[in-house]
Structure formats: structure tokens, C-alpha cells
Chains A and B, each alone.
Chain A
Amino acid sequence: MNTWQDSLIELIRRTSAEIPDDVQRAILAALEREKKGTIAESAMKIIEHNIALAKQKSQPICQDTGSVLFYVDSPAGFDQISFTEAARNAVKLATQKGYLRQNSVDSLTGKNDGTNLGPGAPTIHFHQHKEAAVSVRLMLKGGGCENVGAQYSLPDETIKADRDMAGCRKAILDAVLQAQGKGCGPGVLGVCIGGDRATGYEFSKIQFLRTLDDRNPNPELDKLEQDILNTANELGIGPMGFGGKTTLLGVKICAANRVPASFFVSISYMCWAYRRHGARLDATGKIMDWLY
């Protein structure tokens, strides 16, 4: 299993130190857009410089290296138990190498044993697909931005949101307003309309596996994504909440069926330090190519 382990360590290193190209492009566009000489522009400049420096030094982009979330697509018969073991070893070794901070705390005792291993750490989602290769995607999800995520149960009287698309729009924009700059904006929203409380948040996070420049194949959701992005960027919250033109870098929305009694809108927030990479691995665990 050593090839698997080595490949996963490299995936962790790359995810922690290198922002994916689609996010980099969005950040550069945001830097261009901000008015010259404003504090919003200087915040974007520092962000851009930080991204370059982290890559050059192969060091974490942000010191909060986040929750470690793996998404694995594999063919039938794939050995998930061995993979899990390799992934856990890779996380432990990547922590020793400094690619990940000692970032995982026992919720009952408050102890941090420095391994980044424990219940739910790392989290691995397995799916089966028809290809022979194994696709492994990794997301490092920071805590500051996770804290500004929100789940609305419609109807919601406080924001006058009914159980319709207009109500969903109100809920999502309210989450942007409440977050202000606190999630290290400019950020990206992952949203799930429907589902239950658990799947709603789960699907909202899976939206972060999409590239920022893709378009939603569902015309209604595509329209909502563009509308939320444009509207949020008119609110003047700006980078870090300093005021400015870029409040969000992207919005990704999916829908899941719900039971008649529930109507949840679940919103996850990803900070500018958007750490997501992925690789296709062959049957021996060797990296064939990168996914982002």
C-alpha cells in the first residue's frame, strides 16, 4: 500500500500549498476589479502574494489546514479498507512533514494528540463508478469559514422567506449578509436546496468539487447561481468585509428531493483559501493525472 500512501501524501501537500487554477483565476480577476488604492485592493494583493509564496515554499496557504475530506470514486471490487488505512497513514505523515497543522481535537477531552486522526478525522466518502481508475478528490475545509455556514428551514418568518425559489434566494442572500467578511472573504458558496439536515450540508459541500468557471446544467439553478453572485457583489461587503466589489468569487447550487414536511436550504461557505485538488490513480495507486 506504500504507493497509495505516497500518492495521497503528495495530494495532501499539493492541496495544502497550491490553490487550484480556477480559483487562482477568480482571485486575479477580483484583484483587477477592485478600485486602485483601496483597502479592498490591498487585501487582494496580499492574498495573491500569499498564494504565490505558499506555492514557492511548499508551505500551507493558511495555517488552519482545516477538516480533511476525501471524496473517492472507484470501480467495483475496490478495497476500501486498505485505502482507508493508507489515507490515515498519509494524513499522519503529512502532519509530521508540516503539510497539515496539528489540527484535530478530541471534542470530549479537548486533547490534541497531534496526529490529525480520530473519529471523523479524516472523513472519507466512497462512491462506485464504471471507470477502472480511482479518482481521489481532497478538500481542506477551514474552520473560520465553516462557522459562517447556515441552514434555513422554510418558511422562515424572520427573513420573510416562503417555500419557493424566491424564498431560497432570500435565505442564501441572508447567509451572505450574516457572514460579512468573517469567513475570510471573498468566498464561495456551496448550496443545497432540499434534502434533510445531514444530506443538505453534505451536498452543499460537494458543490465545492465543481470548478468555479463551470455552469450549472440545470437552467433554473444556473440562473439562481448567477443572480446570487451578482447580487452579493452589489452589497459592498468586499474582501475581508472591508467594503468593495468582490464579496463572492462563486456560487454553486444543487437540489435534492425533500419530504413534504421539510424544506431546508443549506449553505456552506468556503474562504478565499480554497483548498481542493484531485488525482486519478491506477490500480497500483500511482498518480496518472491531476483533476484540477
Chain B
Amino acid sequence: MNISTPLTEEVVRQLKVGDAVEITGVVVTGRDAVHKYLAKGGELPPGVSLTGSIIYHCGPVVFKDEAGNWKVTAAGPTTSIREEPYQGDIIKKFGVRAVIGKGGMGDRTLAACQEAGAVYLHAIGGAAQVLAEHITKVRNVYFLEKFGSPEAIWELDVVKFPAVVTMDAHGNSLHKEVLAHSQAELAKRV
């Protein structure tokens, strides 16, 4: 399924756990420093809005080419669960519609997704080269000085960026389902 930004609540509520999506539009990166900063009352840089946005848990490897343009050379997801203390509040406060990462998130984020209308999208961990190919342009970077390159907010153009809905806006989590299923299967075998 193709989805594009800005995401609306209507589109997000249609997505179900297990759906493969391809994202076209803009995603913004944010990891530990950004999440902590925003959750503790920090303000977004002027001109940046997260309404209808997609936050990508990623510290990209970015180079400046000879012409002075930024180029992303590797951009795989980082482990999302570290943002669990902050994610739910940030989704609600800023109107974020989707989060991309790996490994899934916990009950607080799941509840916020259901309440506010947002989803968790799982990218393929380790697929740095393939995912970088789907990033066509660096639009902007914020907090580069303040947080350093991997932790900065990178605003990226993406085309058909592949991910899977593993937590939807209806309280379902593929991570919970697979854990319960595998637990039951293991119990039969030990």
C-alpha cells in the first residue's frame, strides 16, 4: 500500500497490523536526544511542524558532496524501545501520525497510537544500503550543532520507502501476537 505525507487520521486508521507500506513524502529523523528534549518541554525549531508527520528512529550516515549538498549513504533504523518513555506524549502533543523504527515499542506507545490515531512502522533492521536508496534528498537539518549528526533532526525526502505496520491505531501489536504465539509453540516443545 502506498502512503504519502502529510498523513491524515483517516488514512492511518485504515492501516492494519501486517500491512506492507511504501512511504513517499517527507520523514524526519529523531532519536534519543530529540525525544528527550521534546518530551521535557523543548520547542521545535522555527518553521518545523510535526503535524501529520512521520518520525524515523535513525541516525543516518550523511556526507556533503563537492557541490555542498548533503547525501545520505546509510540509513537503517535504530532500536525504538529506548524512546518508549517519551514517544506516546510526543505523538499526542505534536500530532505525529507515524513512527518508523525497529524492534517495536511498548504499551504506552500502543495506547497513544490508538488514542491519537498513529501507527508504528517497522523498517528492515540492518538494510542500510537499500533504505538509503529510497531517500532521495536531504531537505534540511536542525539541531546539528546542538546534538551532533546522528542525533540531529534530518528532514528527508523519501520515495517508496518500505516498512511494515506492526502496531496499528486500533490497539493491535504484531510484536505481542508473535510473542504470545511463539511462547505457546515453545511450551509444546520443552
Using a CB–CB cutoff of 8 Å, the interface residues on chain A facing chain B are 39, 42-43, 46-47, 49-50, 53-54, 57, 59-64, 98, 101, 142, 144, 147, 169-170, 173-174, 177, 180-182, 184, 231, 234-238, 240-243, 271-273
Q: Which residues of B contact A62 (CB under 8 A)?
A: 76, 126-128
Q: How far is the CA of A171 from the CA of B128 in the complex (A)?
A: 32
Q: Which of B134-190 contact A (CB under 8 A)?
A: 162, 164, 166, 174-175, 177-179, 181-183, 185-186, 189-190
Q: How far is the CA of A39 from the CA of B179 in the complex (A)?
A: 17
- Contact A234–B74 (Cβ < 8 Å): no
- Contact A271–B125 (Cβ < 8 Å): yes
20 cross-chain CB contacts under 8 A? A39-B18, A42-B162, A42-B164, A43-B124, A43-B164, A46-B124, A49-B127, A50-B128, A53-B129, A62-B128, A63-B74, A144-B103, A144-B125, A144-B126, A173-B186, A184-B125, A236-B182, A240-B102, A240-B164, A242-B174
Q: Which residues of B contact A169 (CB under 8 A)?
A: 190
Q: Which residues of A contact B181 (CB under 8 A)?
A: 235-236, 243
- Contact B186–A177 (Cβ < 8 Å): yes
- Contact B127–A59 (Cβ < 8 Å): no
Q: How far is the CA of A43 from the CA of B103 in the complex (A)?
A: 14
Q: A170-B190, A180-B178, A182-B79 are in contact. Are A240 and B130 (CB under 8 A)?
A: no
Minimal beta-carbon separation of A68 from chain B (angstroms): 17
Q: How far is the CA of A60 from the CA of B126 in the complex (A)?
A: 10
Q: Which residues of B contact A235 (CB under 8 A)?
A: 181-182, 185-186
- Contact A63–B182 (Cβ < 8 Å): no
Q: Which residues of A contact B178 (CB under 8 A)?
A: 180-181, 236-238, 241-243
